[in-house]
Amino acid sequence: MKRIAGAMATAGLCALLFTGCQGAQEHSIVKAKEAGATVQYETSEAAEQFLREELGAPTVYKNHRVYQDGVLVIDTDAKVEVPEVTGINTYTVSNRAVEQHLIDAFTNAFFAGEKIYNGSYYLQPTKKQRKEQLEAMKRKREEGDLDPYGFGKDENGDWNYDLNEAIQEFEESMEYLPDEVSKVEVKPAFGMAYRESTGAGKWVDRVDPNSFYGVVETKHGNYIYALEKYDRDIKLHFYKQWNELPIGVGTGWVDGADLMDGTESGINTMTEEQLKEKMDLSYEEAERLALEKMEQLGVGLELYDWDYTVRYQGEEGLTENNIQEGGYKFTFARTVDGVPVTQTDQYEGAVEPASMIIEPWGHERCQMIIGPKGVEEVALYNVSEVGAVQYEQVKLLDFDSIADIYQRMLAANYSELPEYEKSRTIHIRKITLGYARIVDPMERESIGTLVPVWDFFGGSDVEGEEVTSRDCGEHSDHSYMTINAVDGTVINRSLGY
């Protein structure tokens, strides 16, 4: 589920990546960057018992430790999830080529028979729309609201959004805008023509080989449909377009996990019972539709998890009174030999400093929101292709060894809190054994390895000088630590190794 409870100290984690635990380095798949190579894993004999028994993994793991005279507390009361298999292999894995037939499959699964238009042209405002926008902006100015979107001021005290400048630019562009919406029907594909402003309300047509941006007209409203390609990151997604909102009024879906687990600026807490009351369709109906669409898509992903979600509309963010509708968010993942690829809130591949050579490569995932009128949003990232077995029945560290690494390394990662934090209590509520894709930092090819890892999920309570936040972590998909189940090394999910 979907709550980011606070980032790890990056520098500390990177420093720890190459240390691991004592005795683990001799089998480490993570080597210093100048070494580059991975080493062979040990294999074990085919087991007759499930991994939980073989590794001595409990169903619940509890541990409570206090550090730095109470400045840091690690409170572990976690259910331990282990797949019901007798062994795990490692596999090669690569990005699936994004050929036109994959884009067509995505389009047909969700928009078969619908008309799709070039979004750059379609969404260019007409004279009438721009006039209505100007009137709303001027009303805000007359009311003294010079920050209608809540962007605040910069370090020099100037508004980040200059309302007066925006009004002037809109007025100057009026004469160049079309009288009617420009509908140019297109087929979703990379290499779409788009319209770019050159200033003073003038526009020029260009072509982008790495993206597509369209508008789909349906009986349930319009959708924004986009394809994005950046290096090794490929994203296919769409979402319902909410038109004609007053200036400064926002809308969007908020995950149930965020609302159930704690407090955050702009978000009020809700219980599961309160969320259920906002649901406008049954879970069974929503799941049936989600599974049906994924089968039509045909990329081989299986249902991994789900969450409640609600859509709000208002100037002040989500409140109890401005929820418009409820729905469900479904997460899909690849499962190999009965072992799922663990899903976390770390989706994108990070970019190394300029001195490093690894390119970003985001993790494979698919999320779908089902609302009362059907599919509301879908995001499909980096479809993978699992290759050959590298090592069969790899020998895994026992659970006690993994738990010891977790306690020592997580405490080390938070040995120095940021200046704005007075104290932090980390709640670990779920521990999961599954697959993760890692890469060799010396390889530029889009080839990785699926390896078994342990992830430790939870949330944090933070006491700060200005902000205090609470997150019990009960429904969190934020992994505070990922440990290679074979050799005990810590994996940075952002970098992918």
The two tokens of residue 487 are 């050799």
Q: pTM here?
A: 0.85
Q: Kindly state the tokens that stand for 155.
A: 């370090």
Among 51-55, 65-69, 140-144, 445-449, the least confident range: 445-449
Q: What is the pLDDT confidence band of residue 84, given thresholds at 50, 70 and 90?
A: very high
Of 152 and 394, the structure prediction assigns the larger pLDDT to: 394
54 by DSSP, 3-state: which?
helix
Dihedral angle computed from the Cα positions of residues 363, 370, 455 and 262, in that order, rounded to the nearest 10 degrees: 120
Residue 376: pLDDT band (50, 70, 90) is very high
Least confidently predicted of 61-65, 192-196, 385-389 = 192-196
Instruction: With beta carbons less than 8 A apart as the criterion, state whether 410 and 457 touch.
Output: no
* Predicted local confidence at residue 20, as pLDDT: 35
Stretch 464-473: mean pLDDT: 86
Per-residue confidence at 420, pLDDT binned at 50, 70, 90? confident
pLDDT tens column, 107-130: 999 999 999 999 988 988 888 988
Rounded to an integer, the average pLDDT of 397-424 is 95
Distance CA 455, CA 209 (A): 38
Q: How confident is the model at residue 199 (pLDDT cuts 50, 70, 90)?
A: low
Structure tokens that stand for 191 in this block: 């290499």
pLDDT of 407:
95
Check whether 205 has a pLDDT greater than 90: no
Count other C-beta atoms under 10 Å from residue 469's C-beta: 17
Please state, in angstroms and rounded to a whole number, the distance separating the CA atoms of residues 323 and 316. Answer: 12
Q: Please tell me which residue, 11 or 221, carries the higher pLDDT value.
A: 221
- What are the residues whose beta carbons fall under 8 Å from the beta carbon of 372, sequence distance 6 or more? 280, 281, 325, 326, 327
Give the least confident one: 54-63, 265-274, 354-363: 354-363
For residue 172, give the H/E element and its range. Answer: helix 163-173
Please give the pLDDT value at position 16.
35
Of the pLDDT bands very low, low, confident and very high (cuts 50, 70, 90), residue 8 is: very low
The pLDDT of 462-478, averaged and rounded, is 89
Asked if pLDDT for residue 14 goes beyond 50, the answer is no
Q: Report angle CA 383, 194, 348 to the nearest 5 degrees.
A: 30
Please report the pLDDT score of residue 241 as a whole number: 86
**Per-chain mean pLDDT for the chain:** 85
Q: Residue 353 above 70 pLDDT?
A: no
Residue 11, H or E segment? helix 10-17
Taking 90 as the threshold, does the pLDDT of residue 469 lie above it? Answer: no
Please report the pLDDT score of residue 18 as a whole number.
Answer: 33
Whether the Cβ atoms of residue 279 and residue 343 lie closer than 8 Å to each other: no
Per DSSP, the chain holds a count of helices (H) and strands (E) of 10, 22
Between the ranges 188-202, 426-440, 458-472, where is the mean pLDDT highest? 426-440
CB-CB contact of 298 with 101 (8 Å): no
Task: Write the DSSP assignment of 283-313 as a string of letters.
Answer: HHHHHHHHHHHHHHHTS--EEEEEEEEEEEE
Question: What are the residues whose beta carbons fall under 8 Å from the beta carbon of 277, sequence distance 6 or more?
Answer: none
pLDDT tens figures, 225-258 = 999 988 778 899 999 987 667 777 788 899 999 8
Whether residue 34 is predicted with pLDDT greater than 80 in this model: the reply is no
Percent of the chain at pLDDT above 70? 85
What pLDDT was estimated at residue 314?
84
Of 85-89, 314-318, 472-476, the least confident:
314-318
Q: Considering only 76-85, 183-192, 311-320, 330-339, which range has the smallest mean pLDDT? A: 311-320
Q: Which residue has the higher pLDDT, 306 or 196?
A: 306
